[in-house]
């Protein structure tokens, strides 16, 4: 019991020294979304296709950010043409894809 208490205190000390960075290392980002958009293995997709295969450089998605069901639309493409598994709306991957798609409005 004493060792468990010491270990717990040690872990808490390490976490506080690093601000919890080790446990929150990955956050959604436009850059990650761009990588996922171009990935041929997004959501375990076995098709060998990527989002960019149908939308090179985001072509045709300039106004997608306006879609109130953008998450649903992205999952439709993942489960349909890519044949992957739908992503959880709150996952880092989905949030990154949404951030990337929304960034396209600024590029075109």
Residue-wise pLDDT for 5-15, tens only, equals 444 444 444 44
What whole-number distance in Å separates Cα of residue 24 and Cα of residue 87? Answer: 20
77, 81, 86, 89: CA torsion to nearest 10: -10
Q: What is the DSSP letter of 87?
A: P
Domains, the chain, ordered by start:
26-107 (1.10.760.10)
In tens, the pLDDT along 56-70 reads: 999 999 999 999 999
Please classify residue 62 by burial: count the beta carbons closer than 10 Å to its beta carbon, then call 0-12 exposed, 13-18 middle and 19+ buried. Answer: middle
pTM of the model: 0.74
């Amino acid at each position: 019991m004493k060792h468990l208490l010491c270990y717990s205190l040690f872990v808490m000390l390490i976490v506080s020294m690093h601000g919890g960075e080790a446990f929150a290392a990955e956050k959604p980002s436009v850059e990650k979304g761009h990588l996922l958009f171009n990935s041929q293995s997004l959501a375990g997709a076995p098709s060998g296709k990527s989002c960019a295969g149908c939308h090179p450089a985001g072509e045709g998605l300039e106004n997608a950010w306006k879609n109130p069901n953008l998450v649903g639309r992205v999952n439709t493409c993942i489960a349909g043409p890519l044949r992957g598994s739908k992503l959880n709306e709150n996952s880092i991957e989905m949030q990154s894809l949404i951030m990337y798609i929304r960034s396209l409005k600024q590029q075109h």
